[in-house]
Structure formats: C-alpha cells, structure tokens
Amino acid sequence: MIKVWTGVAEAGRLGRQGPRGTAFAYTPDAQPERAVSLTMPPRLASWDVPFGLAPIFEMNLPEGVLRERLRLAFAKATGAFDDFDLLSIVGRSQIGRLRYTGVEDKLDVAVPFQSVDEILASRRDGGLFRYLMDRFAAFSGVSGVQPKLLVRDEGAVALGGPGDRSSIRGATHIVKFWEPEYPELATNEYFCLRAAQRCGLEVPRFQLAADGRALVIDRFDLRPDGSYRGFEDFCVLNARSTADKYRGGYETSILRRFREFASGDVVAGDSERLFTLIALNCALRNGDAHLKNFGVVYDDVDQVVSLAPVYDLVTTTAYIPADTMALTLGGSTRWPTAKRLQSFGETRGVGGPAMVRAALERAGDALAETAADVRAHMGQRPAFADVGERMLQAWSRGAIDSLGLKTGFG
C-alpha cells in the first residue's frame, strides 16, 4: 500500500487490486483541492485500473537506463519489480506536486545536495554520470528514455517572508545526459530550446556543461517557497498509459484536449503558443514530440491551468534520418507542408491567416538566428561538428518545407 500526497497533505491510498491492477481511494474527508489529477476529482468510489497504474501515477516513472538501474538495485529485495514497486522507490521526489510514501511514513522530500556549477564545469567523461546515478537514482521520479536525474543544487534557497531564506529541500534541477548511440544529444537539445526561446515560448532556464556531456534545466514546477506546482502531461489528460504516448493526433489529442482543461482566460494566448510549438517541432524535425512531451501546469486544481513551459525538444532526424512525426496531423505522420500547418492553425481556431503566418515566420526567424549559433559552436567544439551539420541540414529542410522559407541555413 502507498500513501499519496498532494503537496503536504494526504490525499488517499494506492494499493494493488487483483493479479495486475491497482486501486486508488481518497480519504473520506478529501476536499476538491486534494485532487491528484484534473482527471480524477475526489469521490467516494475508488479509481480502479485493471492493469498497472492510473496515468497520473505512471506519469513520472523512469524509463530506459534509470529504470534498469533501479530494477537491478531493488529487484532482489522486492522479489519482483513492476511499476508499483518503482513508484514506491522514486515516489518521494517527482515532477509536479504529488508525492508517495509508505503508509506509516511521514512525508520527507529531502534530496541530497549537489553543486550544479560542478556539473556544468565537469570534464570527468562518463564518471560524472555514474557518480550522479549512484547518488540520485532513487530520488529521480522523472520520465523519459534519455538518461536524466533530479538533483538539488546546494545553493538553492526558498524565499519566504522578510529575512526568511531557508534551503529548498526537494530537487531543483533536471540533469540530462546522452548515450553513445545519440552523440551530443545534450547540445542538440540546448540549441533546440534556444530556438524555442527565440520564438517567444516560455522555456525554463537551461545550461550546457562545458564538455557538452550534460544539460542542466531548472525545474519549471518549483515555486519560490520551495513547494511544487501541479503538472500533468497529455498522456494523463488523454487517459492513456505511457505505452500509448505515440497514439493520437495534434488536432485532437493535443490542441483540443488542451482547450478542454485550460482556464478560459489563457486559452487563446496559450493555443497560439501551442500551435507555434507544434510548428517548431515540425521545422526542427523532432520526431519525438509525443503526448508526454506536452503538459499543463497549475498551482491548484481549482486555479489557472495553463500550458507548461517547453521541454524535451530535440532534432531526432540528426540520428534517425527517416524519422517522422510522433503524432498525426491531418491523419498522417509525414512532416507537414507550410500550407498544411497554415490550414491547421486557421481551421482549428488558433487565429486568422495573418496570426498563423506570423507564428510560422517567428519560428523561421528563430531557427535562422539559432542556426548561426550552431555554426559558431561547431567551430569552437569539433566533437559537435558532425551532429551540428546534420541538425542544420534537418532545420533547412524543415524551414523550407514546413515554414515556407525560401532558403535554408547551409
């Protein structure tokens, strides 16, 4: 049995049900603000899932290298190792406001200290990743196949009232690494995020390590007082498991679903930003823009729900030349033309022709500016030159085909 917390208050209990399912029951006195998800308001009946975990509880489960590391470390003790076991291990440190403990345990979100400056300055080759993996794996409730960990910067403080500067106890940063089959992935993402920033999209602070082996990103869900905002990805909003993250279309599973959950006063502006982000993904040739790579944030379930800042943005065709879109647009996963994106924006109510064209032009300008930065970095760091060249080729094709630019960035 697992105790589920929203913020610092108990919301309910999660337990196994049947041979493969789970059930979550709210505490009898749970108020609406204790909801674990926008999709699961408090009620007397339990929320039952016949297989695995409900999407909101599965949302932050590690994948890939991190999951395997935890399986090897804990499978002998548990006798088995499924998603329920994994949640019980990483549940005290998660993206968003939910936390998980044993039934008899008190909530303790403390994560060990780690200097972010040390990570950024490190030139320890693969040794840094192994060191951080040993120290932070069990504190890293964050999804994704790419190796990533949650750490707490030793200089982070919570800003309370006058004179109150207490240390933040939970994780403050996400640290991403890359595996040999995807060389220079941290630098790839760094420049993709820079392009998004130049588009006028909200992007959390991001920093590239001196040796290019790590990308350090500030937690966008961390509030000044050290508590965390609510976060839900679009697998959760579409009631789908992580295994179904590539199932759906940008029209319905992303844009329409966002409008169903977003607050009225932000829908128009955030819909335009969401369209811009989708168009930018197409131009960057990011074939991994799936349901888990879009999300919403909120302080409480009954307050403003808005589009989450941009995250997990990479040029995948630099490694997989024949890669296509993660979700469909107009029923196809082929990279869209500028005409199809223009039609998507207009027919789905993002804005009029001039507004949609302006969004595509902003994306094109952002890519052009960032392409110059990529070229300069290639000269400064020869190890990045090959991947950088493939990124620029992909951006050129994307800008011409999907944004309507007349020339690329060769």
- Going by pLDDT thresholds of 50, 70 and 90, the confidence category of residue 166 is confident
Query: What is the CA angle 334-340-344, rounded to 5?
Result: 110
Query: Is the pLDDT score of 5 beyond 80?
Result: yes
281 and 160 in a common domain: no
Q: What's the pLDDT score for residue 124?
A: 55
161 and 258 in a common domain: no
Q: What's the pLDDT score for residue 40?
A: 98
Q: What's the pLDDT score for residue 156?
A: 82
pLDDT digits (tens, 9 = 90+) for 15-48: 999 989 999 999 999 999 999 999 999 999 999 9
Query: Is the pLDDT score of 52 beyond 60?
Result: yes
Tell me the average pLDDT across 132-158.
91
Across all residues in the chain, what is the average pLDDT? Answer: 94
8 and 155 in a common domain: yes
Query: How far apart, in whole angstroms, are the C-alpha atoms of residue 245 and residue 248?
Result: 8
Task: Please say which residue of 177, 199, 223 terminates a domain.
Answer: 177
> Is 386 part of any domain?
yes
Query: How far apart, in whole angstroms, are the C-alpha atoms of residue 266 and residue 98?
Result: 24
Sign of CA dihedral 353, 359, 362, 368: negative
Q: What's the pLDDT score for residue 25?
A: 98
241 and 161 in a common domain: no
Question: How far is Cα of residue 97 from the mean position of the Cα atoms in its chain?
Answer: 14
Q: What's the pLDDT score for residue 358?
A: 96
Helix axis angle for 64-78 and 83-90, nearest 10°, is: 100
pLDDT digits (tens, 9 = 90+) for 387-404: 999 999 999 999 999 999
264 and 136 in a common domain: no
Domain count, the chain: 2
Query: Is the pLDDT score of 72 beyond 90?
Result: no
Q: What is the CATH number of the domain that holds 355?
A: 1.10.1070
Query: Is the pLDDT score of 221 beyond 70?
Result: yes
Q: What's the pLDDT score for residue 160?
A: 65
- Going by pLDDT thresholds of 50, 70 and 90, the confidence category of residue 77 is low
Task: Please say which residue of 146, 161, 177 terminates a domain.
Answer: 177
Q: What's the pLDDT score for residue 126?
A: 63
250 and 152 in a common domain: no
> Is 200 part of any domain?
no
> Is 409 part of any domain?
no
pLDDT digits (tens, 9 = 90+) for 192-205: 999 999 999 999 99
**Domain, as residue range, for 300:** 237-403
- Going by pLDDT thresholds of 50, 70 and 90, the confidence category of residue 408 is confident
255 and 144 in a common domain: no
Tell me the average pLDDT across 362-382.
97
Task: Please say which residue of 177, 202, 220 terminates a domain.
Answer: 177
Q: Which one is predicted more confidently, 124 or 351?
A: 351
> Is 210 part of any domain?
no
242 and 169 in a common domain: no
Tell me the average pLDDT across 223-234.
95
pLDDT digits (tens, 9 = 90+) for 297-338: 999 999 999 999 999 999 999 999 999 999 999 999 999 999
387 and 255 in a common domain: yes
Tell me the average pLDDT across 151-162.
79
> Is 160 part of any domain?
yes
Q: What's the pLDDT score for residue 353?
A: 96
CB–CB of 70/63 below 8 Å? no
> Is 250 part of any domain?
yes
Q: What's the pLDDT score for residue 257?
A: 98
367 and 243 in a common domain: yes
pLDDT digits (tens, 9 = 90+) for 86-122: 999 999 999 999 999 999 999 999 999 999 999 999 6
- Going by pLDDT thresholds of 50, 70 and 90, the confidence category of residue 1 is very high
249 and 169 in a common domain: no
Place of tokens 């509880």: 57
Tell me the average pLDDT across 121-147.
85
CB-based burial of residue 259 (10 Å sphere; 0-12 exposed, 13-18 middle, 19+ buried)? middle
Query: Is the pLDDT score of 165 beyond 90?
Result: no
> Is 214 part of any domain?
no
Query: How far apart, in whole angstroms, are the C-alpha atoms of residue 131 and residue 325?
Result: 35
Task: Tell me the percentage of the chain whose pLDDT exceeds 70.
Answer: 96
The DSSP 8-state label assigned to residue 310 in this structure reads P
> Is 227 part of any domain?
no
- Going by pLDDT thresholds of 50, 70 and 90, the confidence category of residue 123 is low
Task: Tell me the percentage of the chain whose pLDDT exceeds 90.
Answer: 86
- C-alpha pair distances (Å), 259 with each of 96, 101, 225, 296, 349: 21, 33, 30, 11, 11
251 and 133 in a common domain: no
